[in-house]
Amino acid sequence: MNPSVDEAVRDAPQLVGLFVATMPDCLLYHSWSRSATEWAADEVAGYFGDLIRANREGLRALSAWSADMQVTIESRDALVVLKELTPSFAMGCVFDRNAPLGLVRLHMKRLVDRVTAALPDVAPAERSRGEKIVEFLERYAPDPHAVLLRVSLRTGLALDRLRDASSLSAPEVESVERVACQLLGLAKLAV
Amino acid sequence: MSVESLRTFDKAQSLTFLAGIPYVYHCHHYNLFHDQTVDDALGDEAGLEVRTRSARNAFRSVLEAASKELHATTPVEKVQLARELFPWMGLGNLDISTSAFGGEARGATLHYGFSWREKYGAQVKRTLPADAVASGFAAAVTEVAYGLPSGSAWTVEEECVAAKAAQCRFRIERRPLGGWEEPLPTVIDTAAAIAAAGPPERGVDEDRIAKIGSGLTDFMKGVRGDERGLVQAFSVFVAAQLSSYYNESIFEMITRLEKRSPELAPVAEDLAREAGRVCVFNTFGNVLLSPEWEALVGPLGNDPADIVSFCLAIARGLGFGHWYLHEYEPRKRFVMRASSSYEVPFYVSRYGKADRPRGYFLGGSAHAIAALAEGVRWGERPKLDGELYMKLLGGRNRAHVEQTKCQMRGDEISELVVTLP
Tens of pLDDT along B347-370? 999 999 999 999 999 999 999 999
C-alpha span between B314 and A174 (Å, rounded)? 45
CATH 3.40.190.10 for domain A3-118: no
ipTM rounded to 2 decimals: 0.93
Convert the pLDDT of each residue in B208-254 to its tens digit.
999 999 999 999 998 999 999 999 999 899 999 999 999 999 999 99
C-alpha span between A83 and A107 (Å, rounded)? 13
pLDDT of residue A1: 61
Statement: residue A185 has pLDDT above 80 = yes
Pick left, alpha or beta for residue A74 (phi over 0 → left; psi -120 to 50 → alpha; otherwise beta).
Answer: beta
- Four-CA torsion A186, A140, A131, A172, nearest 10 degrees: -40
Question: Any idea how long chain A is?
Answer: 191
pLDDT of residue A124: 63
- Segment A33-53 mean pLDDT: 77
Helices (H) and strands (E) in chain B, counts: 15, 13
All residues of chain B having their beta carbon less than 8 Å from the beta carbon of residue A144 are 386, 390, 394
What are the structural domain ranges in chain B?
Answer: 15-181, 192-419
- Closest CB to A156 among B127, B261, B274: B261
Convert the pLDDT of each residue in B107-120 to its tens digit.
999 999 999 999 99
- Segment B243-270 mean pLDDT: 96
Which of the 8 DSSP states describes residue A126? P
SS (H, E, C) A22-80: ECCCCEEEEEEECCCCCCCHHHHHHHHHHHHHHHHHHHHHCCCCCCCCEEEEECCCEEE
Convert the pLDDT of each residue in B4-24 to its tens digit.
999 999 999 999 999 999 999
Within 13 A of B351's CA, how many CA atoms are on the CB side?
A: 21
Tell me the nearest-neighbour CA distance from B166 into chain A, angstroms: 19
Tell me the nearest-neighbour CA distance from B390 into chain A, angstroms: 7
- Least confident range from A47-56, B31-40, B52-61, B268-277: namely A47-56
pLDDT of residue B303: 95
pLDDT of residue B112: 98
C-alpha span between B38 and B88 (Å, rounded)? 26
pLDDT of residue A86: 85
C-alpha span between B202 and B157 (Å, rounded)? 47
Q: pLDDT: is B129 or A105 the higher one?
A: B129
Q: SS3 for A165?
A: helix
- Closest CB to A142 among B124, B271, B390: B124
What DSSP letter does each residue of B328-386 carry, written as one string?
Answer: EETTTEEEEEES--TTHHHHHHHH-S-SS---HHHHHHHHHHHHHHHH--GGG----SH
All residues of chain A having their beta carbon less than 8 Å from the beta carbon of residue B48 are none
Tell me the nearest-neighbour CA distance from A134 into chain B, angstroms: 16
Statement: residue A27 has pLDDT above 90 = no
Q: SS3 for B126?
A: coil
pLDDT of residue B179: 63
All residues of chain B having their beta carbon less than 8 Å from the beta carbon of residue A183 are 124
pLDDT of residue B103: 97
B227: Cβ contacts below 8 Å, ≥ 6 apart = none
Average pLDDT, chain B: 95
C-alpha span between B82 and B137 (Å, rounded)? 9
pLDDT of residue B272: 97
If you count residue pairs, one on A and one on B, with CB atoms under 8 Å apart, how many are there? 52
pLDDT band for A49, please (50, 70, 90 cuts): confident
C-alpha span between A18 and A95 (Å, rounded)? 9
pLDDT band for A123, please (50, 70, 90 cuts): low
- Closest CB to A152 among B33, B36, B264: B264
Average pLDDT, chain A: 86
Q: How far apart are the first and last CA of chain B?
A: 53
List residues in chain A touching B: CB distance below 8 A: 140-146, 149-150, 152-154, 156, 158-159, 182-186
pLDDT band for B175, please (50, 70, 90 cuts): confident
Within 13 A of B268's CA, how many CA atoms are on the CB side?
A: 32
What are the structural domain ranges in chain A?
Answer: 3-118, 129-184
Statement: residue B181 has pLDDT above 70 = no
- Segment A164-180 mean pLDDT: 96
C-alpha span between B26 and B238 (Å, rounded)? 6
Statement: residue B178 has pLDDT above 70 = no
Statement: residue B69 has pLDDT above 90 = yes
Please indicate whether, in this complex, the C-beta atoms of A153 and B264 are within 8 angstroms of each other: yes
Tell me the nearest-neighbour CA distance from B221 into chain A, angstroms: 32
Convert the pLDDT of each residue in B134-154 to its tens digit.
999 999 999 999 999 999 999
User: Residue B386 to residues A61, B29, B151, B286, B352: CA-CA distances in angstroms?
Assistant: 32, 12, 40, 14, 38
pLDDT band for A31, please (50, 70, 90 cuts): confident
pLDDT of residue A40: 75
Residue of A nearest to B254 (CA): A153
pLDDT band for B286, please (50, 70, 90 cuts): very high
Q: Phi, psi at residue B82, to the nearest 5°?
A: -65, -40
Q: Phi, psi at residue B369, to the nearest 5°?
A: -60, -45
pLDDT band for A60, please (50, 70, 90 cuts): confident
pLDDT band for B47, please (50, 70, 90 cuts): very high
- Segment B260-289 mean pLDDT: 96
Convert the pLDDT of each residue in B382-417 to its tens digit.
999 988 999 999 866 579 999 999 999 999 999 999
- Segment B264-286 mean pLDDT: 96
Beta bridge partners of B18: B7, B21
Statement: residue B3 has pLDDT above 80 = yes
Tell me the nearest-neighbour CA distance from B61 into chain A, angstroms: 32
Cβ count near B350 (within 10 Å): 18
pLDDT band for B330, please (50, 70, 90 cuts): very high
Domain B15-181: which topology? Muramoyl-pentapeptide Carboxypeptidase; domain 2 (3.30.1380)
All residues of chain A having their beta carbon less than 8 Å from the beta carbon of residue B127 are 185
**Same fold? B15-181, B192-419:** yes
pLDDT of residue B396: 61
List residues in chain B touching A: CB distance below 8 A: 33, 36, 40-41, 43-44, 119-120, 123-127, 261, 263-264, 267-268, 270-271, 274, 278, 386, 389-390, 393-394
Statement: residue A36 has pLDDT above 80 = no
Please indicate whether, in this complex, the C-beta atoms of B267 and A184 are within 8 angstroms of each other: no
pLDDT band for A126, please (50, 70, 90 cuts): confident
Convert the pLDDT of each residue in A132-153 to its tens digit.
999 999 989 999 999 999 999 9
pLDDT band for A157, please (50, 70, 90 cuts): very high
CATH number of B192-419: 3.30.1380.20
